[in-house]
Amino acid sequence: MNFEAALQVANEAFFAHTQRYLSDVEVTLLRGAWQNQTYQEMSENTDYTANYLQRTVGPKLWKQLSEALGESVSKTNFREALKREMSNRTPSATLTVPPSAHSVEFPDKPVALDSQFYIERPPIEVDCYQAIVQPGALIRIKAPQQMGKTSLLYRILTYAATHGYRTVRLNLREAEGAVFSSLDKFLRWFCANVTLQLELPNQLDNYWNEAVIGSMVSCKTYFQSYLLKRIDSPLVLALDEVDQVFQYPDIAKYFFPMLRSWHEEANNRAIWQQMRLIVVHSTEVYIPLNINQSPFNVGLPVDLKEFTPNQVANLAACHQLTLQPEEVEQIISMIGGHPYLLRLAFYHLSRQDVTLSMLLQDAPTDGGIYSDYLRRNLVTLKRHPELAAALKQVVTATKPVRLDTIQAYQLHSMGLIQRQGDLVMPSCELYRHYFHDRLDNEG
């Protein structure tokens, strides 16, 4: 029995038990174990650390494989278990069975933690896992909409939780408009929501004194003297969609420097080493911030890029689709390496709702699979004529163009353009073809 046969048996047993196939890192670990490698040896030719393979991936893999095979499995005995599983099957049972329509996830939300459809982008995941366990850590995740920021965030928070850390995720788009009417009201909302997620009593009135010490010092005191002291482990505070705050410069100019100061406090006070921050946003930071007070130029920067051709092929394989290199090129030419657009395409192809040639032909039309997605963006552009005019300039040009800085940031956050230095161009042909005529008709 060679490794490829063993991997097929493991994958089929794994899918039957978990409704997902082995991930890239799990295959890496399994292959290394098959070759009698230590975790350190496995890590040497990969982007994964030995500690991550041994303490995070390994225990979960051996546990789930044990459940799938119906016997206790470990790094040292899994070969014989797979051999027994293979010998108990009929020849036809070892053939790969495509997933049913029900097992293919529709991409309408962040990728679940146990999903086979999450594609890692090494070394990003490992870099984030290593960073979040550092005292006073700060991670900055930036990418256009629906590029996988929240899916990555969930995995970082889960990794932190496995180390016994407390985790809180705040989506700042959930804050009502009235919350941003003043700095004091916003910071009180901020503190109250963290308290709620930590399941602690709200003690804001005991620590807050806007008139005497101000809102920022009150907020810091509440965290330092109450929240961080009441929990007996590090706190990972993830702030998702912080772009929302960019719209309120009078709040942003105080809130973001406050976060920077908390990060720097870890150099001076042990209590602030317990705080780990993750800041997630879609656009570049176009609000004016003092370079020495901005949290956007410190910590670990994570800029999520589009999938590479190899990652596109891997995602297709997760959907039980085998693409030829020229087909991968055709797909990337039309929709780029955008994770959401790719998953939507592979969802329909795996269900045999449409052929690849028809999908590509209809993609930039109102009859294609992206019609709802494209119309939503068109509605947004119609509400903001200055953005529509800017994108029209981009999609009708034959070469990259220069846009107003703010308009470029906004269109980039929507995922509609990509940068080439100071110039921009459509992210993919899908947007060029779809918006070329429709924006032109808008005049």
- Provide the token pair at 105: 């996830």
Burial of 199 (0-12, 13-18, 19+ CB in 10 A): exposed
User: How far is residue 393 CA from its own chain's centroid?
Assistant: 31
Give residue-wise pLDDT tens across range 186-203.
Answer: 999 999 999 999 999 999
Q: How far apart are CA 242 and CA 30, in angstroms?
A: 39
Give the residue extent of every domain in the chain: 3-97, 124-303, 372-442
Task: Give the model's pLDDT for residue 91.
Answer: 39
> What pLDDT is attached to residue 94?
33
Residue 1: count of CB within 10 angstroms of its CB: 12
Is residue 320 packed enough to be buried (19+ CB in 10 Å), middle (13-18) or exposed (0-12)? middle
Q: Residue 398's pLDDT is what?
A: 94
Quick one: pLDDT at residue 102? 44
Give the pLDDT of residue 211: 94
Nearest-5° angle of CA 51, CA 170, CA 131? 25
Amino acid at 269: R
Please state which architecture CATH assigns to domain 372-442: Orthogonal Bundle (1.10)
Token duo for residue 167: 């985790």
Task: Give CA–CA dist 244/279, Å, rounded.
Answer: 12
Q: What is the distance between the alpha carbons of residues 170 and 278, in angstroms, rounded to a whole number?
A: 10
The CATH code belonging to domain 124-303 is 3.40.50.300
Predicted structure pTM score: 0.77
Under 8 Å between Cβ of 56 and 155: no
Confirm if 104 and 351 have CB atoms less than 8 A apart: yes
pLDDT confidence of residue 89: 58
Please answer whether residues 126 and 55 qualify as being in contact, where contact means their C-beta atoms are separated by less than 8 angstroms.
no
- Asked if residues 360 and 331 have their Cβ atoms less than 8 Å apart, the reply is yes
Task: Report the distance separating Cα 218 and Cα 202, nearest Å.
Answer: 14
- As averages over each run of 10 residues, the pLDDT of the chain (443 residues) reads 75 78 80 86 77 87 91 90 75 38 78 89 94 97 93 94 94 94 98 96 96 96 97 96 93 96 94 97 77 90 95 93 94 96 96 94 95 92 93 96 91 91 95 90 46
Q: Please give the pLDDT value at position 2.
A: 72
Tell me what the pLDDT averaged over the chain comes to: 89
Question: How far is Cα 26 from Cα 296, in angstroms, rounded to an integer?
Answer: 33
pLDDT of residue 229: 96
Domains 124-303 and 372-442 share a fold: no
